[in-house]
Structure 1
Amino acid sequence: MEKSPFPTEDMALTTILVVSEMSRAKDFYQDVLGAEIYREYGGDSCVIRFLGNWILLVTAGGPTDDKPDTQFVPPLNPENVSHSFTIRVKDCMGCYETLKERGADFLTPPVDWGAEIRAFFRDPDGHLFEISQA
């Protein structure tokens, strides 16, 4: 059997985020970040497109035949981060003001580190986002 090439240009990467309340998550991603809702499945999953990327929002769930012993849960403690998203921007302070007006909850105002200006905020379930200006 011949191996299939991997990766190929027709593939796409989707990030799965587990959320506690779908309507609240959809509101945040659509109204605060400006993401596009692409498709919804039965009230417990929603595909969004954001900055050319796919994000699948799902509610919590237990093991399945294809992922035995694996539970999907929203972040238990937002202060412990295992992944985050960085949004590269041209104007960190301007983006900060816009997102703050739309309801983003920032940890601090933007901090200027010399080579970079950045600020962090969370979605309603605690997933961490960063806006960063080089």
Structure 2
Amino acid sequence: MADDFPAPGMALTHILVVSDIDAARTFYRDVLGASIEREYGGTSIVLRFLESWLLLVTGGGPTDDKPDTAMETPAEPNRVSHAMTIRVPDCQAAYATLKARGAIFLTPPVDRGPEIRCFFRDPDGHLFEISEAVGKA
């Protein structure tokens, strides 16, 4: 029935294509603090992070259920069509923690008035933002 979507029990999983599953596991577990839920044959890892699901998969060509569609890592990390924001209570503290764990930031936190934010990438170039709301927009 059309009224059953979305329905209780559904969850959104975000898929990220990675080139090196071991490096990705290390980054998402040790830097971001995600928990590993499952791993499949050395080509994919299911993670739980901030009440969300992340699925890390190695790239590949089309399959019968996604014909003409290849899964690839970001081709040009400086040209972004997608990013994820992590809302934090203290951007400076989150920045310090993540940097100490090995995250490489584009810049230190920048105060933009209603928010303080900064950006970093995973080993394959997927862009993440940490953002602290500090005022009214």
Normalising by the smaller structure, the TM-score range is over 0.9
Provide the secondary structure at the position in 2 that maps to 1:49.
strand
Distance in structure 2 (CA, Å) of the matches to 1:90 and 1:130: 13
Q: Does 1:124 align with 2:123?
A: yes
User: Using the alignment, how far apart are the partners of 1:4 and 1:26 within structure 2?
Assistant: 38
Q: TM-score, normalised to structure 2's length?
A: 0.95
SS at match of 2:107: coil
The alpha-carbon deviation at position 3 of structure 1 amounts to 4.1
- Tell me how large the CA RMSD over aligned residues is: 0.8
State the partner residue of 2:9.
10
Query: TM-score when scaled to structure 1?
Result: 0.97
1:106 equivalent in alignment to 2:105:
yes
2:88 matched to 1:89?
yes
Cα shift at 1:49: 0.4
Report how far residue 114 of structure 1 moved: 1.1
**Cα-to-partner distance string for 1:25-53 (whole Å, 9 max, x where unaligned):** 00000000000000000000000000010
Give the counterpart letter for 2:126 in structure 1.
Answer: H
Amino acid in the other structure paired with 1:118: R
Cα distance in 1 for partners of 2:111, 2:48 equals: 30
Cα distance in 1 for partners of 2:13, 2:127 equals 17
Query: Residue type of the partner of 1:86?
Result: T
Deviations 1:87-113, CA, capped at 9 Å, x for gaps: 000100000000000000000000001
Match of 2:4, SS?
Answer: coil
Give the paired residue count: 133
Secondary structure at 1:121 match in 2: strand
- Where do 5+ consecutive residues of structure 2 fail to align? none
